[in-house]
Amino acid sequence: MKKILVIGSNGQIGTELVLSLRERFSSATVIAADLGENAPELLKNGPYVKLDVLDKTSVRDYIISNEIKEVYLLAALLSVTAEKNPAFAWQLNMDGLFILLDLAKEKYIDKLFWPSSIAVFGPTTPANNTPQHTTMEPTTVYGISKLAGERWCEYYHKKYQVDVRSLRYPGLISYKSPPGGGTTDYAVDIFYKAKEGTIFDCFLNEQTELPMLFMEDAIRATIELMEAPSENIKIRSSYNLAGVSFTPAILSAEIKNHLPDFQIKYKPDFRQAIADSWPNTIDDSIAKQQWGWQAKFDLPRLVDEMLKNIRK
Ligand code: NAD
Ligand code: AKB
């Protein structure tokens, strides 16, 4: 059975991706990798290795000597943390990608997944039903790094036939592992406050509409993309992907349907400008046509799942 390595396994996506890949293949062949000395509790059902994606020698040695054939590269700084340390964000988000693209070019890896984001779009992009191919002038260091990464993925595919696949994830909503420093994090944090019964101070204003996706859908999209026949994957930069779009006002109204006493206050901060530069809704028709993508979770179902599963 092919060996799969998930780098950045301990984060919001990595945790659920590793668990799903282990269920689908086998626990022994899906190796989690992150900076920590030990695997988090949830990932103790399979192998874990301490690995810094910026340590080129260790990454190459590990992948080559263990005959890893598929890599999911999730290590990155997200939009908010990247703004606090732009130079390091650029280094982490780009250098790690090159190390993996080169291993694929040299044929050590057969297939690479690297996530992009709706952050590749900017204020000059059409905000509603944002098309796959459109004006892209991101204004955050995170968005710039993701757009550059997309161009490099396409370049390595065209020039060296590297089988690299990518999705422009919207904000991801999950309950197993917390989000790691993004602008869309409010849409997860809000559920913890709602369950605690405390007022939620929202760092975006009530009318800020952003594209979001429930984690179960995101993981399914990732695995479906990776398993699709290569000839169906005609976009090698990154695919638009959509689930559900909502504002803080719409989300809190849906939460109130379950918890009528829930209260939200709006205290927009510097993250408002990041959110304002991103789309409201995304057109993912090309992903639907080319590899059969279809989101399953609408807002009522997403809220129901979050409130059922999130711990106080
Ligand atoms: P996260 O911050 O929750 O997790 C990232 C993980 O990478 C962390 O566990 C961290 O310890 C690890 N990491 C950081 N530096 C590392 C290094 N040098 N070597 C090895 N591991 C390192 O992020 P996430 O939300 O899981 O996002 C994963 C990827 O998906 C990122 O590329 C992100 O840009 C992208 N993405 C996420 C979202 C989202 O809403 N979560 C949306 C769009 C795109
Ligand atoms: C962020 O808010 O930075 C991420 C993203 C949409 O890429 N969740």
- Mean pLDDT over 115-133 rounds to 98
Atom 29, ligand 1: which residue's CA is nearest? Answer: 74
Task: Examine the domain organization and report whether 76 and 192 are in the same domain.
Answer: no
Q: Can you tell me which atom of ligand 1 is nearest the CA of 142?
A: 34
Q: Can you tell me which atom of ligand 2 is nearest the CA of 142?
A: 3
- Ligand found nearest the CA of 150: 1
CA of 264 to the centre of ligand 1 (A): 28
Task: Examine the domain organization and report whether 10 and 132 are in the same domain.
Answer: yes
Task: Examine the domain organization and report whether 59 and 99 are in the same domain.
Answer: yes
Task: Examine the domain organization and report whether 11 and 38 are in the same domain.
Answer: yes
The model's confidence at residue 311, banded by pLDDT at 50, 70 and 90, is confident
Q: Beta strands of 19-106 (E only): which ranges?
A: 30-34, 48-50, 68-73
Q: Can you tell me which atom of ligand 2 is nearest the CA of 181?
A: 3
Chain centroid offset of residue 11 CA? 10
With H, G, I as helix, E, B as strand and everything else as coil, classify residue 168.
strand
Which protein residues touch ligand 1 with a CB less than 6 Å away? 7-8, 10-14, 34-35, 51-54, 74-76, 78, 92, 115, 117, 169, 171-172, 179-182, 184
Query: Is 160 a residue of the active site?
Result: no
Domain, as residue range, for 155:
3-170+214-240
Whole-number Å distance between alpha carbons of 234 and 105: 19
- Mean pLDDT over 181-208 rounds to 97
- pTM, whole model, 2 decimals? 0.98
The model's confidence at residue 312, banded by pLDDT at 50, 70 and 90, is low
CATH number for position 31: 3.40.50.720
User: Does 141 have pLDDT greater than 80?
Assistant: yes
Nearest to 240, CA basis, from 291, 170, 151, 171: 170
Using DSSP bridges, classify how beta strands 164-165 and 111-113 pair: parallel, antiparallel or unpaired: parallel
Q: What is the pLDDT of residues 257-301, one digit of tens each?
A: 999 999 999 999 999 999 999 999 999 999 999 999 999 999 999
Q: Mean pLDDT score of the chain, rounded to an integer?
A: 98
Task: Examine the domain organization and report whether 157 and 23 are in the same domain.
Answer: yes
Q: What is the pLDDT of residues 208-249, one digit of tens each?
A: 999 999 999 999 999 999 999 999 999 999 999 999 999 999
Task: Examine the domain organization and report whether 108 and 165 are in the same domain.
Answer: yes
CA of 144 to the centre of ligand 1 (A): 16
Contact 82, 89 (CB under 8 A): yes
Using DSSP bridges, classify how beta strands 171-173 and 210-214 pair: parallel, antiparallel or unpaired: parallel
